[in-house]
């Protein structure tokens, strides 16, 4: 056992306090710096992801529920004769804009003041259906599918009737069609 010599004081220095405050301040500055640095990165990511995350706004001029303006009621013969119209719109594909693209083609009829629309793609295998004014019916030249004026099939070749499309007419007389494509070669109408 050792004892300090009488009359002498201990000379060992006081142990330093742990630098807790400094540590907390440094940690806080890293966290804040990190957040501030992430803001522009997140904004950039949101900008680039926006077209991908955007719902179905793929056509300029398209209504939110998917209708496109096609023609005017006054363009249609009043006796119900079908006319074929192309649907033209500017397509938006992620970051690109393709102007004046053909979205599809449809037959429109004015039947006693109500407008009806058919997709002109044959539900058999996808050729374009023609209208034969000589016998007032539709006919597909590829494998002879035939349809009546109301779009119902009139021979066993096509698996289903012509594909009817939803239509609405606005107060100015503009005809809006919800253009859709459907699976071919199947009995049931299935949207692609
Ligand atoms: S594609 Fe029309 S009849 Fe076959």
Q: Which residues contact 184 (CB under 8 A, 6 or more apart)?
A: 121, 122, 123, 124, 125, 126
Q: Is the CB of 122 under 6 A from ligand 1?
A: yes
Residues 68, 52: Cα–Cα separation, whole Å: 22
Q: Which of 156, 106, 108, 110 is nearest to 129 (CA)?
A: 106
DSSP string, 93-132: ETTEEEEEEEEEEEEEEEETTEEEEEE-B-TTTSPBPEEE
Q: Is the CB of 147 under 6 A from ligand 1?
A: no
Per-residue pLDDT tens, the chain, 192 aa: give them.
444 444 444 455 555 555 666 767 777 777 676 666 666 666 655 555 555 555 454 788 888 899 999 999 999 999 999 999 999 989 887 788 889 888 999 999 999 999 999 999 999 999 999 999 999 999 999 999 999 999 999 999 999 999 999 999 999 999 999 999 999 999 999 999
Query: Residue 89: how many CB atoms within 10 A of its CB?
Result: 21
Q: Kindly report the pTM of this predicted structure.
A: 0.71
Ligand 1 atom, smallest distance to 129 CA = 2
SS3 call for 40: helix
Ligand 1 atom, smallest distance to 144 CA = 3
Architecture of domain 59-178: 3-layer Sandwich (2.102)
DSSP letter assigned to residue 5: P
Whole-Å CA distances, 32 to 28, 40, 45, 180: 6, 14, 20, 50
Q: Whose CA is closest to atom 4 on ligand 1? A: 143
Going from N- to C-terminal start, the domains of the chain cover: 17-53, 59-178
């Amino acid at each position: 056992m050792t004892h300090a010599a009488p009359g002498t004081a201990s000379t060992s220095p006081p142990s330093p306090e742990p630098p807790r405050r400094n540590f907390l301040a440094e940690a806080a500055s890293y966290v804040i710096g990190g957040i501030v640095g992430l803001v522009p990165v997140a904004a950039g990511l949101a900008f680039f992801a926006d077209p991908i995350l955007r719902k179905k706004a793929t056509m300029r001029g398209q209504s939110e529920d998917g209708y496109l303006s096609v023609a005017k009621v006054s363009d249609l013969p009043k006796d119900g004769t079908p006319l074929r119209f192309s649907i033209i719109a500017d397509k938006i594909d992620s970051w690109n804009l393709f102007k004046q693209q053909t979205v599809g083609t449809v037959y429109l009829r004015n039947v006693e003041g109500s407008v009806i629309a058919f997709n002109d793609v044959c539900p058999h295998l996808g050729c374009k259906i023609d209208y034969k004014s000589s016998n007032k019916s539709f006919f597909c030249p590829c494998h002879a599918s035939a349809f009546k004026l109301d779009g119902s099939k009139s021979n066993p070749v096509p698996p289903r009737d012509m594909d009817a499309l939803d239509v609405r007419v606005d107060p100015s007389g503009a005809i809006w069609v919800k253009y859709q494509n459907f699976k071919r070669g199947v009995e049931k109408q299935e949207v692609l």
